[in-house]
A and B are shown apart, each in its own frame.
Chain A
Amino acid sequence: DVKVTQSSRYLVKRTGEKVFLECVQDMDHENMFWYRQDPGLGLRLIYFSYDVKMKEKGDIPEGYSVSREKKERFSLILESASTNQTSMYLCASSKDSNYEQYFGPGTRLTVT
């Protein structure tokens, strides 16, 4: 079975801190994604990557950056966390455009 793991289930950070969210997939998938999930807004795409060192902005990239140095790992970085970035962050991966996305369990980030 495909497995997508995220480094933390729950995270509490202070305003202004630099935050790293890590995602690892074990199925050699080409594509990886970061979404944020908020009540009443559903899932919104932050960034995605279709290859190592390649990245594309999604719908809400402001305040975030990403890194993909290895195929299996995709990191989401909050350079200076703010309270409006308190949310559930979901990572996903897929083999290519014709295959489903597999999701990790999510990281609930609280910024105080």
Chain B
Amino acid sequence: GDSVTQMEGPVTLSEEAFLTINCTYTATGYPSLFWYVQYPGEGLQLLLKATKADDKGSNKGFEATYRKETTSFHLEKGSVQVSDSAVYFCALRVRQAGTALIFGKGTTLSVSS
């Protein structure tokens, strides 16, 4: 079935370090791909998305490119801040299956000053 695999955390970085969180997917259709972020004590917020191959989603300095050939959607940021500490979820939606999202298990990022 359809699924999302994320790198396991926690990821611990110093401020201004480069961030990569890996995400790969398995899907039978042509999925849309998402990154959601959950700050402590809050619900999930959409960080960025891509709806077709080679699309690049970007927001708040984060980027991810939809790579159909490697079935990946890795999240990157050039210089992380303490305020980026959160849990990050990769997700997909297969159009033929309706509107529900399939989430990865989440990756906890902790950034220290």
Contact = CB atoms under 8 A, between A and B. Distances in A.
Given A40-B105, A100-B49, A106 B43 contact: yes
- Chain A CB within 10 A, most for which of B36, B95, B98, B99: B99
Nearest to B108: A39
Instruction: Tell me if A's interface is mostly helix, strand, loop or mixed.
Output: strand
B99 A94 contact: yes
Contacts of A35: 103
A56 B100 CA distance: 10
A58 B100 contact: yes
Contacts, number: 53
B45 A103 contact: yes
A35 B44 CA distance: 11
Interface string A15-45: 0000000000000000101010000111111
A45 B100 contact: yes
Interface string B42-68: 111110010000000000000000000
A28 B34 CA distance: 23
A97 B105 contact: no
B31 interface: no
A101 interface: yes
Interface string A83-106: 000000010101011001111111
A20 B92 CA distance: 29
B101 interface: yes
Contact of B105 (A41, A90, A92, A94): A41
